[in-house]
Chains A and B, each alone.
Chain A
Amino acid sequence: MPEMRTPLSKVRGLGSAKSGAKTWWRERVGAAALLPLTLFFIWLVLSLAGSDHAAAVATIGNPFVMVLLLLFILVSADHMKLGMQVIIEDYVHSEGQKVVWLVLNTFFSYGLAAAGVVAVLKIGFGM
């Protein structure tokens, strides 16, 4: 059988789907980042267990805590969006329903990220 692929296509190495490996890689990079960030999150929850509002605001307003908490929220939102996307693609077979669920997944993940970021910034930079 003659070779049907052009030399340029082989060099690009994208195959017929054009993408996919990037998403796979993004999910793994997010997972790796979330391991230390999760340890930080557990520490934060433990240190604020039963604390009053002033103490919580002081802790969350610390620049280091703010940066790590924002990273935890943003990386989590991205990771959960990618994970739920795989679940939807696995179980929803009707094309129309699949698109609706994928869009809702994006809305939910980004909405959650925005709410979390606004809350942290409001706490950190004052009411």
Chain B
Amino acid sequence: MANSKTGVQRPLSPHLQVYRFTTTMLMSIVHRITGGALYFGILLLVGWLLAAASGPEAFDMAQGFFGSWFGILVLLGFSWTLIHHAIGGIRHLVWDTGAGLGPKGREAWGLGTIIGSVVITAALWIGAFVFGLI
């Protein structure tokens, strides 16, 4: 313990810096960060709904914000965060059954999460652009 008053330097358990970097480690960290971001990101949804509940003026302002370049940037980040956390959630549900934990399986799930989230987010936005939504 850092606050130990015994004056004896006791050995500490190894922490982050001594471990070799792995995909599963990165995915675990990103899953927690994306979850924490979504914790506040949902304020965007509730704010948007409150604007719609308040009336046309407030809703037009909210739509104007989300349609601006800054709003689109925020939504781009929000969508990737949500999709990454969702795929990470699938990965964890699969791992909870005991499947996919072997050396190849866990690596594939880790890489699949990051690649899948980027590809799906890109497809979503390209689709939205092609269909004239943005």
Contacts and interface: CB of A to CB of B under 8 A. Distances in A.
Contacts of B43: 112
Interface stretch (B16-24, B53-61, B109-117): B53-61
Contact of A31 (B67, B89, B134): B89
Contacts of B36: 83-84, 87
In the A-B complex, the 3 residue pairs with the smallest Cβ-Cβ separation, listed nearest first, are A119-B49, A53-B56, A122-B53
Contacts of A127: 53, 55
Contacts of B93: 28, 31-32
A31 B133 contact: no
Interface residues of A, number: 35
Tell me what chain B mostly uses at the interface: helix, strand, loop, or mixed.
helix
Contact of A80 (B35, B52, B66, B134): B35
A56 B79 CA distance: 20
A23 to B, nearest CB: 14
Nearest to B46: A116
Contact of A51 (B39, B63, B79): B63
Interface of A: 28, 31-32, 34-35, 38, 41-42, 45-46, 49-54, 56-57, 60, 73, 76-77, 80, 83-84, 87, 112, 115-116, 118-120, 122-123, 127
A123 B52 contact: yes
Contact of A34 (B53, B56, B67, B89): B89
Contacts of A122: 53
B46 A112 contact: yes
B82 A119 contact: no
Given A46-B133, A83-B35, A56 B89 contact: no
5 contacts: A35-B86, A42-B82, A87-B32, A112-B43, A122-B53
